[in-house]
């Protein structure tokens, strides 16, 4: 993304797992530039106006059809992808919208409530949730602590994002190579001889 934004001057605007590919030597490749645009936008200000992309990975400003900075939209999509890679599920029920109960908790920075709600939904395997089932008003007694923790987490996360991606892709390399070795091992095992 650094190369795409800072050197090529392009914003993708439709990042999602289906558009991320691994080459034979495990290099990450970004595909499908059909919705991409120049970083500076049509008017040269860096502001974009067209609501494009896949809804589940769109940033709130795109969903709400507001103007936006393309690189921030790409970063939001990368966050959703990373969340999905780590947890195996989306960070909200449908999309990054103020109508989504999980997204509301993200906006309010209610970290503990968010994870409790998210876990409950995933454990019950329920895709629909009634808003009144969960308390949507944060406990103000620990709100400052949560905001500070979120800020510190964000600093750490963005400071170490490259390291995190390297770890993830090294793990993928290992799993793929282990799978290949395992297949090779299974194929080269001598057949048991009946006695």
CB-count burial class (<10 Å; 0-12, 13-18, 19+) for 73: buried
3-state helix, strand, coil in the chain (%, to 5): 55, 5, 40
* Distance of alpha carbon 29 from alpha carbon 178, whole angstroms: 22
**Residue 139: per-residue pLDDT:** 43
Label residues 17-50 b or e (16+ Cβ within 10 Å = b): eebeeeeeeeeeebeeeeebbebebeeeeeebee
What is the mean pLDDT for each group of 10 consecutive residues in the chain (195 residues)? 92 94 89 94 90 91 91 93 87 84 85 87 61 44 44 49 55 52 45 51
Question: What is the rounded CA–CA span in Å between residue 65 and residue 52?
Answer: 9
Residue 2 annotated to the active site: no
Closest CA to 118 of 13, 127, 143: 127
CA 134 to each of CA 110, 121, 137: distance values in angstroms, whole numbers, following the listed order: 12, 11, 9
Given the residues 14, 74, 100, 113, the one annotated as active site: 14
Q: How far apart are CA 40 and CA 193, in angstroms?
A: 70
Chain segment 102-144, per-residue pLDDT in tens: 888 887 888 888 888 888 887 775 444 444 444 444 444 434 4
Angle, vertex CA 85, rays to CA 80 and CA 86, nearest 5: 100
Q: Which residues pair with 22 in a beta bridge?
A: 28
**In sequence order, what are the residues at sequence separation of 6 or more whose Cβ sits closer than 8 angstroms to the Cβ of residue 112?**
142, 146
């Amino acid at each position: 993304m650094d190369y795409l934004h800072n050197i090529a001057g392009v914003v993708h605007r439709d990042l999602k797992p289906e558009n991320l590919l691994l080459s034979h030597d495990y290099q990450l490749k970004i595909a499908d530039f059909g919705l991409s645009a120049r970083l500076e936008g049509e008017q040269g200000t860096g502001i974009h106006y067209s609501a494009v992309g896949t809804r589940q990975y769109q940033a709130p400003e795109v969903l709400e059809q507001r103007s936006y900075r393309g690189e921030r939209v790409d970063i939001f999509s990368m966050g959703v992808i990373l969340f999905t890679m780590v947890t195996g599920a989306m960070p909200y029920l449908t999309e990054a919208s103020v109508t989504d109960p999980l997204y509301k908790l993200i906006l309010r920075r209610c970290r503990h409530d968010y994870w409790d709600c998210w876990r409950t939904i995933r454990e019950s395997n329920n895709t629909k949730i009634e808003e009144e089932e969960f308390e949507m008003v944060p406990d103000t007694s620990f709100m400052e602590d949560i905001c500070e923790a979120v800020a510190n987490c964000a600093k750490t996360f963005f400071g170490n994002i490259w390291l995190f991606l390297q770890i993830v892709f090294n793990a993928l390399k290992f799993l793929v190579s282990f799978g290949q070795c395992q297949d090779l091992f299974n194929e080269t095992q001598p057949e048991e001889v009946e006695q």
